[in-house]
Amino acid sequence: MTYIWPSPAKINLFLYVTGVRSDNYHYIQSLFQFLNYGDTLKIIVNNTGNIELFTAKKLILTTENTIIRAAKLLKSKALLYAKTNCNTLGARIFLNKKIPMGSGLGGGSSNAATVLIVLNELWKTQFTLEELAKFSLKIGSDVPAFIMGKTSIVEGIGEILHPIQRKEKWYLVVYPKIHILTKSIFSNSLLKSTSQKKPIKLLLKSRFSNDFEDIVSNKFKKIKTLLSVLSLYAPTRITGTGSCVFSEFDDKTSAQKIFSLLPQNVKGFIAKGVNTSSLHQVFYKRNTHILNSKSILK
């Protein structure tokens, strides 16, 4: 049976840079919250050995796309651990894209996580979520959080996750039609990697902020204006290192009211923050046996 699989967006409720490794990877502390909004993927497996991606936006049909990279990574790991006849593992993947690129909503990382989780089941490669999360760091630092699927404090370079329960609030997310490359922001000379690492309890009690906000808003005046306007109505920040600006509300009606005050040409959406990603909500209802799976790695 063919299913349509969710690939949810995320926001970073806070994001701090606490240091830099010798290889230039940055240590962070962030609060990772899923939204009930995102892309969808239809995945049909076959025995051709080929990975094919279909989407209306042909510009992302490349081997560098996280979807193709994720599928190939899973095949290579299956080959390494002699899981199955990897040469015949194939798939046709159809992407319905809603999450803008360079927005800070994690679209590419989310797509990779959905592919890894679903193909791991359909190809019967039998890796655990923890193993998939470990592999996935080769694709991006946000991918492990999407794979584990819970609201979490994220530390290290993205590999250390502390799941938490948080009140599920509503968010007005505005996309200013600006594509920001994560690499360019992390390499910005104005980035100060001096935020002090804090205990989780203190992080959650402190005022939330984003170490990249000044860099992004000073570089893009449109984002600076959005932050100024929306901050008049609700707590407002950028998400991740992207261009999207989000405002937090206790209920949907309040978010809708503020959205209605914005110019009609402003692109955005309203979504609810959820403690369990929509992919996990759907996937584990259909595959309850996976919850009890054990590691096969030696």
Q: Is the pLDDT of residue 277 over 50?
A: yes
Residue 208 domain boundaries: 170-274
Is the distance from CB of 258 to CB of 172 less than 8 angstroms?
Answer: yes
Q: Are residues 146 and 233 in the same domain?
A: no
Residue 109 in domain: yes
Q: Does residue 115 belong to any structural domain of this protein? A: yes
CB within 8 Å of 66: residues ≥ 6 apart: 108, 109, 111, 112, 115, 139, 140, 143
Q: Are residues 29 and 143 in the same domain?
A: yes
Q: How large is the average pLDDT for residues 87-96?
A: 91
Q: Are residues 112 and 229 in the same domain?
A: no
Q: Is 87 exposed, middle or buried (0-12, 13-18, 19+ CB in 10 A)?
A: exposed
Domain membership of residue 142 (yes or no) is: yes
List own/partner pairs for 248-254 with CB under 8 A and 24 or more apart. Answer: 248/13, 248/169, 248/170, 248/171, 249/169, 249/170, 249/171, 249/172, 250/169, 250/170, 251/170, 252/170, 254/170
CATH code of the domain covering residue 215: 3.30.70.890
Q: Do 90 and 59 share a structural domain? A: yes
Minimum mean pLDDT among 77-86, 175-184, 215-224, 252-261: which range?
A: 77-86
Instruction: Kindly state whether residues 32 and 124 are assigned to the same domain.
Output: yes
Q: What is the pLDDT of residue 248?
A: 98
Residue 52 lies in a domain: yes
Q: Is residue 147 part of a domain?
A: yes
Residues 145 and 194 in one domain: no
- 143 and 212 in a single domain? The answer is no
- Residue pair 88/49 in contact by the 8 Å Cβ criterion: yes
Query: Alpha-carbon distance 262 to 127, whole Å?
Result: 46
What's the structural domain count of the chain? 2
Same-domain pairing of 23 and 125: yes
Q: What is the mean pLDDT of residues 137-152?
A: 96
Residue 226 has pLDDT above 50, yes or no: yes
Residue 289, pLDDT above cutoff 60? no
Same domain, 19 and 114: yes
- pLDDT higher than threshold 70 for residue 84: no
For residues 235 and 104, state if they share a domain. Answer: no
The reply to whether 177 and 140 lie within a common domain is no
Question: Would the pLDDT of 55 be above 60?
Answer: yes
pLDDT at 284 over 90: no
Within this chain, do residues 108 and 186 fall inside the same structural domain, yes or no?
no
In a domain, 123, yes or no: yes
pLDDT tens track for 100-116:
988 999 999 999 999 99
pTM for the structure as a whole: 0.91
Q: Report yes or no on 298 lying in a domain.
A: no
Statement: residue 15 has pLDDT above 90: yes
Q: What is the CATH number of the domain that holds 159?
A: 3.30.230.10
Which residues are known to be catalytic? 10, 142
Q: Give domain status of residue 297, yes or no.
A: no
